[in-house]
Amino acid sequence: MYYLIENTLKECPGIPAKESNIPYVAILTPEQWQKEKGVLDLGIDMDFETLDIHTTMAEVNYNSITGSFAIPYEKNGTVDFKKFAFVIDENSIIFIDKENTVENIISKISLTRKWRMPSLERFIYDFLEEIIADDLTILERYEKQLIDTDKSINNKEEVDLENINVIRDHLRVLRTHYDRLIDLAQELEENENDFFKEENVRYFSLFSKRAGRLFDMCTALVDYTSQIRADFDANLTDKQNHIMTILTVVTTIFSPLTLITGWYGMNFKYMPELNSEYGYPAVFIISLLIAIASLLFFKHKKWL
């Protein structure tokens, strides 16, 4: 599929004529790329069909800029990637995509964008913007989940720490993604091949700054997850310390009572308290006084 970059994206039936000097966008499958790369005359001999895309990057060549996108998205609780490659020359950008990722983005741009001063640079800027269009909402959703979890921990409620680990892993992937997008935008801004008009390279700077803000927000949220984990561990330690304190208090209270029980459990014949009428009540009262005194002492020390 080919689109002319005019006031809006306009689909055209085939490869636009070079003499028209109208910038254009192409979406090709790897098979179509192999068939049409000679007609496009980009001077690139790269087999995108077998290209192993694993990250977002851009590489400046003698007469082109080549690169790839690996856009993370959440799928069944894990992170997957939408991958495609691209080639840029002075008049066009060509996407090589096995799936419909680029086509969906292009459809949104054609429906929502209208340019007074159309250019290849402005299209690339809008394309990059569309990639991160929903990311602020995603980060705000993660932030709300983290805040709710933090409140639950402070309220001594049970929390699902595994969910925090999942969010942290997703945030780390997103942070790397924004870092790669910033590198790509800066590579385009360098304009080493003079493909772009000087007055238009500012678009790449604008995008780099926006991706930078998302990167900073992502970094802050990753740090927040670490703080929440620390709060959770501290809360767990407090619970364990409280249990140990109770066990210590109980043990301390019953130690003298155990001593009394053991003392009067000895089978000596001459123990005056055994024949005393007040022996049992006396031992009972002494044991009760010891327990009460111990409780008052621990209460005074604020151990209970």
How is the chain split into domains, by residue range?
1-131, 240-300
Tokens linked to 158: 């049970």
What mean pLDDT do residues 31-58 have? 69
Q: Which CATH architecture has domain 1-131?
A: 2-Layer Sandwich (3.30)
- Please give the Cα distance from 175 to 205 (Å, whole number): 19
**Cα–Cα distance between 214 and 202 in angstroms, integer?**
19
Q: Which has more pLDDT, 104 or 155?
A: 104
- Threshold 0.85, pTM exceeds: no
| Separation between Cα atoms, residue 128 and residue 105, nearest integer Å | 10
Could you read off the pLDDT of 270-302 as tens digits, one per residue? 777 777 777 778 878 888 888 888 888 777 777
Residue 266, classed as helix, strand or coil, is: coil
Q: And the tokens for 175?
A: 């942070």
**Mean of the per-residue pLDDT values of the chain:** 84
| The pLDDT value given to residue 142 | 92
The partner residues of 78 in beta bridges, in order of sequence, read 75
Class of domain 240-300: mainly alpha
Q: Name, in order, each residue with C-beta under 8 angstroms of 295's C-beta and a sequence gap of 6 or more.
A: 253, 304
> Distance between CA atoms of 229 and 167, rounded to whole angstroms?
12
Q: 141 with 135: CB under 8 angstroms? A: no
Q: What pLDDT shows up at residue 38? A: 66
Among 101-115, 116-130, 290-304, the range scoring the smallest mean pLDDT is 290-304
CA 102 to chain centre: 23
